[in-house]
Amino acid sequence: MREPEPPRDGARAETDETGMEQSPPRRRVKIVPSILSADFTRLGEQLAEVERAGADRVQVDVMDGHFVPPITMGPLVVEAVRRATRLPVEAHLMVERPERFVEAFIEAGAALVIVHQEAAVHLHRVVQQIKAGGARAGVALNPATPLSALEEIWPELDLVLIMTVDPGYAGQAFLEGTLPKVARARSLIEERGLECELEVDGGISPETAPRAVRAGADVLVAASAIFRHPEGVTAGVRALRESVERALAQRSESEEEEEGG
């Protein structure tokens, strides 16, 4: 008798007391507000809002004026965010030679440090440096960088970030052409049985988030859609979450119809 195929989205199938296979649980999608679009005169207040609204962690975008044009935040901001919220903080380092800064951001309180493949000459060494410091390690890929750039390091990673815009600025339009790469990354993670989150960042909104989730993303970073929502930060988080829940529900219904023939 042929073994049942493993369920999609990395979830394991369970059986009931009769031995019949049950549907796997829905994949939970995490919402990560990026403070790049926050009002820094009200940062503590807005961090409290996203926490109450059900965000999963907070991202600090670090830019050095070289790898990307703007200059933004450093370890002191991570430290301030860490004191202002109980949510885990991830530091997205859009900087050249990230190995120079990893230790400082971990000491400041970053639980997850993401570096760019394009910016790290010795990527294995940087990933090991992050983990040796006690943080989780992620690697980001720009839109034009192929997944094959991570071929030799996939098993070492806690997270892969597929940029859905070119990094550097909030408020950019979502690049639809990145979705096939997200889908390929999801397939690779599942085929290899990797314990690796798949994050997307750039142009994420209630309109684009469902497409990213359907492609396979399980972590959504959003800046403008949350912090510049016309009804406030809480409404921004909720609108994003609701759009994702609707997309997952529709996909579940579609899969059930397909199985029912």
Active-site residue, 158 included:
no
Over the stretch 149-183, which tens digit does the pLDDT of each residue have? 999 999 999 999 999 999 888 788 999 999 999 99
Burial of 258 per CB tally in 10 Å (0-12, 13-18, 19+)? exposed
Question: Domains in the chain, please, with CATH?
Answer: 26-165+175-260 (3.20.20.70)
Active-site residue (options: 61, 64, 158, 218): 61
Active-site residue, 61 included:
yes
Neighbours of 169 (CB within 10 A): 15
Active-site residue (options: 64, 158, 201, 218): 201
pTM score:
0.86
Burial of 256 per CB tally in 10 Å (0-12, 13-18, 19+)? exposed
Q: Is 45's pLDDT higher than 60?
A: yes
Mean pLDDT of 134-143: 98
Instruction: Grade residue 4 by pLDDT with cuts at 50, 70 and 90.
Output: very low
Q: Helix or strand or coil: residue 11?
A: coil
Residue 176 has a pLDDT of 96
